[in-house]
Structures are given as C-alpha cells and as structure tokens.
Amino acid sequence: MQTVLIFHNLLRWAVLLFGLLTFFRAISGVISKRTFTGGDSSSNFWFMLSCDIQLLLGLILYFNGQWFERLKNFHETMKNTDYRFFSFEHGVMMIIAWILVHVGRVSVKKASTASSKHKRALLFFGLAIILILASIPWPFRDTVMRPWYRWFN
Ligand code: HEM
C-alpha cells in the first residue's frame, strides 16, 4: 500500500499541472476569442487521464486501508476531523471533480463553436480544479495535513 500511496501523492502534481493548464487555456480562449486547437483538446485529455488513474489509486487506498472500515462506526468517524476527511469528504469531493472532468470533456466535444467550447471548458474544468485544490490534504492544513511529496526508501 505504501507504493500506491507514493504514486497517489506524486500523481497529484500531474493532475494539478494538466488541470491548471486546461483552466488557463480556457480562460485565454474565452478572452481572446481564438479557435479551439488540438493543444486545448490534448491538455484536457491529459487532465482526464491523470484524474482517472488518481481515482483508481485512491479507491485502492480507500478500500484496502482503514478508511472504508471506519464507516462502520459512522458517528465516531464523523466526529473526528481526520477520519471524516479521508473516510468521506476527500473521496466524495474528488469523485464529483472526476465526474465534472468527464462530463466537461464530452460537453466540450459536442459544442459546435470555438467560443462555446472554451466557455464549457472554463465552467466544467474550472469547477473541477477548484474542488480538487480545496480537497487535497495540503501540508498547511490543520489536522488532515499530508506531505508535499513522498518517495521510496
Ligand atoms: C484528483 C483526485 C485526487 C487527488 C488530487 C488526491 C490527492 C491526494 C493526496 C495528495 C493525498 C495524500 C497522500 C499522502 O499521504 O502522501 C491523498 C490521500 C488519500 N486519498 Fe486521494 N486524491 C484524489 C482522489 C481520491 C479518490 C477518488 C479517493 C477514493 C475514494 C482517494 C482516497 C485517498 C485516501 C484513502 C487517502 C489517504 C491515504 C492514507 O493516508 O491512508 N483519493 N489523496
């Protein structure tokens, strides 16, 4: 499980990189009214792919560790900030973000004009990246802090 945790920790940086790239490309697309390019499409593809792998690793951690088990003591778990975060909040928020990324990609593909593609990208990927940023257990968070990175010893 330590290996999965290391990958889950490090892959967060790829998710953030592609997520922010996609988000800023959408902003620039809306403002400059430029065409929707292959670069826009591939940046949101890599954002989606990194989220898919991150979801898979997260589910492995969730069901193989203490977090899913803790739901059996639901009331006790909800009273403890750390337990509640990893047994409930983190996974739920990240799954909502993952759905937004997938729905967003389909919606952007279906839009007929460049302007509506950029607007939809901004809406869906923008909301997703905000949720992701807010739900990461950053080292500066009070009780749920986790390290910036992990490596193999
Ligand atoms: C874009 C999606 C996600 C990102 C960016 C993300 C990011 C992170 C980060 C940075 C950590 C701290 C890792 C460490 O301790 O070094 C973490 C922990 C964890 N994540 Fe995620 N995560 C995502 C999705 C998910 C999902 C969908 C689940 C499953 C429901 C999940 C389950 C967990 C669990 C159980 C831990 C705690 C592992 C432990 O300390 O025992 N994650 N996540």
pLDDT digits (tens, 9 = 90+) for 130-145: 999 999 999 999 889 9
Measured in Å, residue 31 CA sits from the centre of ligand 1 at 34
Across the range 116-138, mean pLDDT stands at 98
Contacts of 124 (CB under 8 A, 6+ apart): 100, 101, 103, 104, 105, 107, 108
Residue 153 has pLDDT above 90, yes or no: no
Q: For residue 101, what are its two tokens?
A: 């990324």
Q: For residue 84, what are its two tokens?
A: 């509640």
pLDDT > 70: percent of the chain: 100
What pLDDT score does 123 carry? 98
What pLDDT score does 80 carry? 94
| Domain range summary for the chain, segments of one domain joined by + | 2-135
**Residue ranges around ligand 1 (CB below 6 Å):** 5, 8-9, 12, 15, 51, 54-55, 58-59, 61-62, 65, 67, 86, 90-91, 94-95, 97, 132, 136-137, 146-147, 150
The ligand 1 atom nearest the CA atom of 6: 16
Measured in Å, residue 97 CA sits from the centre of ligand 1 at 13
- Give CA–CA dist 124/110, Å, rounded: 14
Residue 117 has pLDDT above 90, yes or no: yes
Write out pLDDT tens, residues 48-82.
999 999 999 999 999 998 999 999 999 999 999 99
In the structure, what pLDDT confidence band is assigned to residue 2 with cuts at 50, 70 and 90? Answer: very high
Judged on CB neighbours under 10 Å (0-12, 13-18, 19+), 65 is middle
Helix 114-135 to helix 2-32 angle, to the nearest 10 degrees?
Answer: 140
Q: For residue 119, what are its two tokens?
A: 């607007």
Residue 34 has pLDDT above 90, yes or no: yes
